[in-house]
Amino acid sequence: MCCNTLVIMFVYNEVTKIGKGATMFKKYMIVVFILIATLTLSITSFAIDEDTTDEDYVHIISPVVGESGKTILNDSLFISIYVQAEDTLLLSMIKKEKPIFTFEEEKTEKAEFVDVRPLLTASAASTEEKVTLAEVTIVELSKEDIFSAYQIAEMDLEILTDELEMVTSDIVKISSLLDESLPLYNATYKLTVEETESLSYYEAVMLSYNEAVNEFIMWENRYNKLFETIVVDQEEMIVDPAFPYFEHTVANITPGNYELFITNIEGEIIKTFAFEIVTEDTIAESIKEDENIFGNIFDPDLFE
C-alpha cells in the first residue's frame, strides 16, 4: 500500500502539471484515470498478498537421529512434530521386520509357474485374454500366497525384461530406418510383413512388460507389508494454532527399523522419516570401530 501511495503521489503531481492547461473534460478524464489506476494497483497488491501465503511447514523434531539414522533405545519413543498446515495431517509409523522366509527351496518349486504367463505372439497379443493374479478376486491371501505371487511377479518381470531386450535388439535396425533423427532414415522404406509383425510383437511385449512392472511393484509392496507392523495408525495431528506442536509417545518400543509417515486426508505423503532404533551396546561396539559413525548425537566419551 505504501508503494501505491508513492505512485499515486507521483502520478498526481505529473497529472496536475498536465491538467493545469487542460479543458474540464480532460481534467475529468484524468481524475477517472487516476482512480482506475489506484484501484488497479490496490487490487493487484491484495491479489499479490493473497498469493503470498506461508507454505505448509512440517518439521520433525523428535526422534533425533545421528548421521547414520540411528537413535538409542529408551523405554518409549517420543515423537514431536512442528506442524504449520492448513489441512488435517495424519501420523503413521511402521516397523519393518526382517523377512523370515527362506527363498531357495521355494524358488525352485515355483519355477513351473513361469508358464502361467506365456510369451505373447504379436497375433495373440490383441485377442488373448490376459489373466494375472492381480485380477483374480482375492478375499484373503495367506503369507505364503503373497510370497508366491511376489515370486511369480518377480520372475515374470525377469522373463519379460529379457524378452524385451531381445525384441528391442531385433527391431533396432527397423527403428533406425523409420526414425527421422537417425542417419539411416529412409522415408520411402516399406516394411516387410515380418518386420511389421516384429514391431507389433515389440509393442505387445512392451505392454506386457509395463503390466508386469506394475504387478511386481504391487506384489513387492504387499510382500514388504508382511514384515511391517503398524505402530501408529493414522493418528490425527491435532494442534493448537498458538502452539503448533504435535506430540505422541510410543510405549514399549523395541530395536529395529522404523518409518514415520505424515500424510494428508487424501493419503498423499507429506513427509517420511526412516530411522533405526538400536541399543546402547550396539552403538558402543560400533563406536569402537568407528568413532564418527553416529555423527553428532553421540559423544564417544560416553562409552569410554
Partner 1 sequence: MKIYSEIFLIQIYLNSGGDMKDFIRSLLLISLTISALIMTGAVFMTESPEIVESTIKYDTNDLIKLIRPQNYVFSFGDLFIKIYDDSYENVPLRSEYEAVFKSFIDAPLEKKLGTSNEDTWNEQLKRKSMRVDYSFDVPLKDLLELYKYNVELNSEEIHISSVLFLLNRKDVIYIYDKQTDKYYSLSGSEPLKWIDELYVDIGQVKLDIDTYKTLEDRYALLQTGLRKYDLEQENLLLTPMALEIDYPKYNIVKEIGEGQPSNEILERYARSIFDDDLDFVKKSVYSNNEIIFIYGYGEKVFKVSGDGSLEYTVKVNENAAKEAIDFKKGLEKSLTQINKMGDTSSTLYMSGYKQIETTNAIETVYYFTYTRDGIPIYFSDMRDGHLIEIRFVNTELVKAKKNIRIAISINLVDPHFKKDFKSIMVKNKLAFELGYINDRPFTTVDAEDLYQMSQQEMSSLETKYMVVGDELIPTWHIVIADTKYIINLIDGELIKDSSN
Binding site for partner 1 (CB under 8 A): 59, 61-62, 64, 72, 74-76, 78, 80, 82, 240-245, 247, 249, 297, 299, 301-302, 304
Place of cell 505512485: 7
Say which amino acid occupies 42. S
CB 170 within 8 A of CB 243: no
Say which amino acid occupies 299. D
Instruction: Between 147 and 298, name the residue whose CB sits nearer to partner 1.
Output: 298
DSSP H helices in the chain: 2-19, 24-51, 104-110, 122-127, 143-178, 193-225, 280-289
Cell numbers given for 62: 523428535
Shortest CB 225 distance to partner 1, Å: 29
- Measured CA to CA, the distance from residue 195 to residue 162 in angstroms comes to 20
Instruction: Between 162 and 299, name the residue whose CB sits nearer to partner 1.
Output: 299
Instruction: Between 62 and 192, name the residue whose CB sits nearer to partner 1.
Output: 62
- Measured CA to CA, the distance from residue 270 to residue 280 in angstroms comes to 32
Shortest CB 84 distance to partner 1, Å: 9
Instruction: Between 109 and 247, name the residue whose CB sits nearer to partner 1.
Output: 247
Shortest CB 303 distance to partner 1, Å: 8
Half-sphere exposure of 178 (CA within 13 A, CB side): 11
Shortest CB 89 distance to partner 1, Å: 15
Characterize the bridge pairing of strands 256-264 and 245-250. Answer: unpaired
Cis link prior to 241 (omega < 30° from 0)? no
Instruction: Between 15 and 239, name the residue whose CB sits nearer to partner 1.
Output: 239
Instruction: Between 76 and 272, name the residue whose CB sits nearer to partner 1.
Output: 76
Shortest CB 35 distance to partner 1, Å: 35
Shortest CB 300 distance to partner 1, Å: 10
Characterize the bridge pairing of strands 269-278 and 70-72. Answer: parallel
- Measured CA to CA, the distance from residue 5 to residue 20 in angstroms comes to 22
